[in-house]
Amino acid sequence: MFTKEERKAFNEAYWKEFRSYIRNTPNSNGSKINWLNYPTETKLLYIRLSVDSKKAEFSVDIQSKDDGIRSIIWEQLLELKVVLESEMPSEGTWIEERLNQARQPISSIIWELSNVSQFKSDDKKHIFTFFEKHLIRFDAFYQEYKDIILNLIK
């Protein structure tokens, strides 16, 4: 069992190692990118990476205080679902409404890697590869279709 401080230090080291692992991987345009803070160019769409003792998740979260705006972006992603799913390594789980940690409604598309733990060093490479594949493939999709999504918000 970790103390709060130990858990924080472990997580910081874990994500620092992932940042180092993916640092030299360019985006689909060949540019350097901060993969852990993926630049969606809007404060309504977030790319989240999470890992715990049971699974790793890559998610695309639509987060807006205005349910109407969230719904518009969700509908557009649904229209692009076939394209997005064909780009990604596997099918995602599409959740139109769920609550985030702050208990705010969000919409999410989640890809999960089950039966892995951030605490098992043997799983680290598998988890990092999972994140890398999903980030790269999502980036290819997003670079192609981001103007459509961003124009909905303007």
Decide: 72 and 152 in contact? Cβ < 8 Å: yes
The whole domain housing 84 covers 4-153
Q: Distance between CA 21 and CA 68 in Å, rounded? A: 38
pTM for this entry: 0.93
Dihedral sign, CA of 16, 139, 153, 67? negative
Q: What is the pLDDT of residues 85-115, one digit of tens each?
A: 999 999 999 999 999 988 999 999 999 999 9
Q: What is the pLDDT of residues 47-76, one digit of tens each?
A: 999 999 999 999 999 999 899 999 999 999
How many domains, the chain?
1
Radius of gyration, alpha carbons of the chain? 16
